[in-house]
Structure 1
Amino acid sequence: MPRTIMGYVLAETGKHQAGLAALAITVFLLSAAPLEFQRRIINDLTEKGSFDNVLWLALGYAGVALADQILKLLLNVYRGWVAENSVRSLRRKLIDADIGSAVAAHSPVDVGVEIAMILEEAEPIGGFVALALSQPLLQVGILVSVVGYMFALQPYLALMGMAFFVPQVVFVPAMQRAINRRASRRILTKREISGTIVEGQNDATQEEVTGIQRIFSLNMAIYWLKYVMYLLMNLMHHLSVAAALCVGGWLVLQGRIEIGTVVAIVGGLAKLNDPWGDLIDWGRELSVVRVKYRLFSEAANWLTGAKPDPTDAGMSRRSAPAEV
């Protein structure tokens, strides 16, 4: 198996990644269009424009929204197929392997533990394969498209709104690293529990209880870190919207900008929140799946008798994953 998760993604699903990327690009190219339709509709209403113009703009908005949702449906279904196909492929590699020789060379207990681990860890690895390239491409594309539209529309309001994302550049990576460290330890702890259960050690019961408690503590720490991070991110978003409404409203009262511009800027800020959060989630999943894939490929190579990668030399089957 390829040494890294991204190597596996490109080797096994390269052409499908290209298809997913094409759909993702089409989706993010449409991301700013609804904001422009909203701006024009609001301006026509406030300036007592013709109803015919408003009607055509509303139909245009509905058409763009429909096209956007259909493309997202196709993208999500295609991602689901790639994910399930990757899981099936990983499990078939195990079935096609010469497990009999592994049992002959090692104890059946060890082989059973490794197979159970591989079958469990194939799911998250396969799920990530579907998002590996299309997800960051889509979310970064939406961010660039919407931010570019906002700056073209009203650079000062856009810059003020973007200022509230600066603190996130500081606290999000720090909190994300803390989450990743705990997720890595959780993977190791689950493997240790599997080993003690199957091997039937005399003190296995106490080790299992301790391990279960450790997993509980790690999960609770992850919950706290993750949701506090989301709270701070949402707080920054709402503060940026409040600032845009306040300053934009003052500019409208002064007759310096149109009310539709304020609506478009506020809508753009709202549209940035989801892709930013999805991009952070993707980064966290990449860190965790990178560890899972390394452990998966190590166990698969051990079962099939493949020569270990020189860069992995010295790692035992239950060695601690590196912090990410």
Structure 2
Amino acid sequence: MSLDLPKQIVNGPIQGDGFNTPDTQQTFLRLVIDLPDWLGKVEPVVLFNGFALDRFQMLMALSGAFLFLVIINGLFKFYINTYKGRLGERMLRRLRFQLIDRVLRFPPNTFKRVKASEVATMIKDEVEPLGGFIGDAFVQPAFLGLQAATSLFFIILQNFWLGFLAAFMVGIQGVVIPKMRRRLILLGRERQLTARQLAGRVGEIVDGISSIHVHDTSNYERADIASRLGRIF
């Protein structure tokens, strides 16, 4: 209904379609159920006769109905985004706690091969995007999927072949885009590992800053960091 209301507002009260004279009235909010033809010659079932409105009243009624639907849609989005954030933060809190619990179980020899800054980066920064992903993993398929299905159904009602073409393009995207993203996922993993090593190297520089100044190896450290940044790029 919200997809068809703008067309009704423009074609009806604004352009005057159906309002040939100033006294012409149209029915608003008339609810009728059309029965299928295979039942025979059966009259449509009228649930509500509606209201007889003139041109200005019809414009106000349709605009008010459209505004009401927009507000309802906004409230749905507000509710979804709020609880999506709560879900993501709760899962993120549990994930970080489990990571700390695993770190505490490692034997002491393991920490000789891992830098403290790398562990801190993994627990603090690398799991941060998972908070948004966890919420979107449940909400986006349901919300956007139903929204796309509604839009596709509306297009099919307007023009069957146009809706068929839109569904065909959606199917192509569903096959091609995941294949194109495989390379991006691999590059993202490599970038994450390189960034983790960079964090460990920065931690070493900060811890050994006195030795760097004493032995005057700052240029070497700059070259090493520049090389690591180049690999990330």
> Which TM-score tier does this pair reach, normalised by the shorter chain?
0.5 to 0.7
Alignment equivalent of 1:78, drawn from 78, 83, 95: 83
Partner of 1:192: 197
Q: Assess, with a 3 A threshold, how the Cα gap between structure 1 residues 187 and 117 changes in structure 2: closer, same or farther.
A: same
Partner of 1:179: 184
Alignment partners' CA distance in 2, 1:160 and 1:172: 18
- The question of whether the paired residues in 1 share the 8 Å contact of 2:152 and 2:166 is answered with no
Partner of 2:2: 34
- The question of whether the paired residues in 1 share the 8 Å contact of 2:84 and 2:135 is answered with yes
Give the aligned length.
Answer: 183
1:199-238 counterparts in 2 under 5 A? 206-216=223-233
Q: Assess, with a 3 A threshold, how the Cα gap between structure 1 residues 43 and 133 changes in structure 2: closer, same or farther.
A: same
- The question of whether the paired residues in 2 share the 8 Å contact of 1:151 and 1:159 is answered with yes
Alignment partners' CA distance in 1, 2:161 and 2:149: 17
Cα RMSD over matched residues?
Answer: 3.1
Q: Assess, with a 3 A threshold, how the Cα gap between structure 1 residues 118 and 106 changes in structure 2: closer, same or farther.
A: same
- The question of whether the paired residues in 2 share the 8 Å contact of 1:109 and 1:199 is answered with no
Alignment partners' CA distance in 2, 1:92 and 1:182: 28
Larger radius of gyration: 2
Identity of aligned residues (%): 22
| Per-residue CA distance 1:147-185 (angstroms, 9 max, x = gap) | 111101222444456666677567644543343332222
- Secondary structure in 2 matching 1:110: coil
Partner of 1:90: 95
1:131-280 counterparts in 2 under 5 A? 131-159=136-164, 168=173, 172-198=177-203, 206-216=223-233
Shift of 1:61: 0.7
Q: Assess, with a 3 A threshold, how the Cα gap between structure 1 residues 165 and 58 changes in structure 2: closer, same or farther.
A: same
Shift of 1:129: 0.8
Most deviating of 58-67 and 166-175: 166-175
Partner of 1:110: 114
Partner of 2:214: none
Flag the structure with more relative contact order, 1 or 2, with Cα contacts below 8 A and sequence separation at least 6: 1
User: TM-score of the superposition, structure 2-length normalised?
Assistant: 0.64
Instruction: Identify unmatched segments of 5+ residues in structure 1.
Output: 1-32, 217-324
Instruction: Identify unmatched segments of 5+ residues in structure 2.
Output: 20-53, 209-216
Q: Which has the higher strand share?
A: 2
Shift of 1:208: 3.1
- Secondary structure in 1 matching 2:127: helix
- The question of whether the paired residues in 2 share the 8 Å contact of 1:109 and 1:198 is answered with no
- Secondary structure in 2 matching 1:132: helix
